[in-house]
Amino acid sequence: MAKIIRSQRANTSSVRSAPKKKPAKAARLLPKRGAKKAAKKAAKRTVKPKPWTSEEVYEAFDRFRKANPEPKGELEHLNPYTLLVAVVLSAQATDAGVNKATRALFAVADTPEKMLELGEDRVRDYIKTIGLYRNKAKNVIALSQKLIAEFGGEVPRTRAEIESLPGAGRKTANVVLNMAFGEHTMAVDTHVFRVGNRTGLAPGKTPLEVELGLEKVIPTEFMLHAHHWLILHGRYTCLARGPRCEVCLINDLCRWPEKTV
């Protein structure tokens, strides 16, 4: 019996100490290969592109000007007030969607006084196809009231005053100042933010950083139309998904490491 017990213990010990099988060679290599690819991608992201020279910036905007000498914003409006309302309504919405709603609205209410007469409920009915329309209707009425009470029914001509209006932020102020009053402002929406970062023209972590970066590098002679050129470029060429590098006017200047040409 003692011999049998010792034999069983020996067998158990041999099972416990049996070496683990090594994974197949190909399987062992997979994590390493994946890690190398991830490291390469990370390196591409962390390497800062070479800043544009002033000559390159001039060349880029000169090409934009030659291709489209008088770019226009795509939001339809009748006057500075309707432009202000349209920009407020365009937050998280497309210009085409806003235009579809405001054509009928502006036909009956193209001044703050007429908008107040229309009332919030009816404004809401006109713009109900636009995202966040309930809150936007409140803002349109509130900003109309403030324009009448504090600015004589006119759209103010300073950034701070426009930003004080309900529903209006820095981008709204920049668009209105540029399009209504010819100021050299840079409105940074998602398209301009993407183009500024992707091309390396004015990289920044926030819209304000990109705005200030663009204002710093773009020559004065291009500033009146610069934000329109960049918006249109981002909307129709430098797309968020599937950018059309093959038809890009500035693909030879662009610093994006993943461009397709």
**What single-letter amino acid sits at 11?**
N
8-state DSSP, 220: G
Q: Is 37 a catalytic residue?
A: no
Burial track 104-136 (b if 16+ CB lie within 10 A, e otherwise): ebbeebbbbeebbebebeebbebbeebeebeeb
Catalytic pick among 37, 100, 189, 205: 189
C-alpha to C-alpha distance for 154 and 98, rounded to whole angstroms:
22
Nearest Cα to Cα of residue 106 among 135, 138, 69, 140: 140
- The one-letter amino acid code at 147 reads L
What is the number of other CB atoms lying within 10 angstroms of the CB of residue 186? 22
**Count of CB atoms situated within 10 Å of the CB of 40:** 10
In this structure, are residues 135 and 125 in contact, taking their beta carbons and an 8 Å threshold? no
Query: Are the beta carbons of 224 and 237 closer than 8 angstroms?
Result: no
Let me know if 171 is a catalytic residue: yes
Of 114, 128, 136, 171, catalytic: 171
Return the active site residues. 171, 189
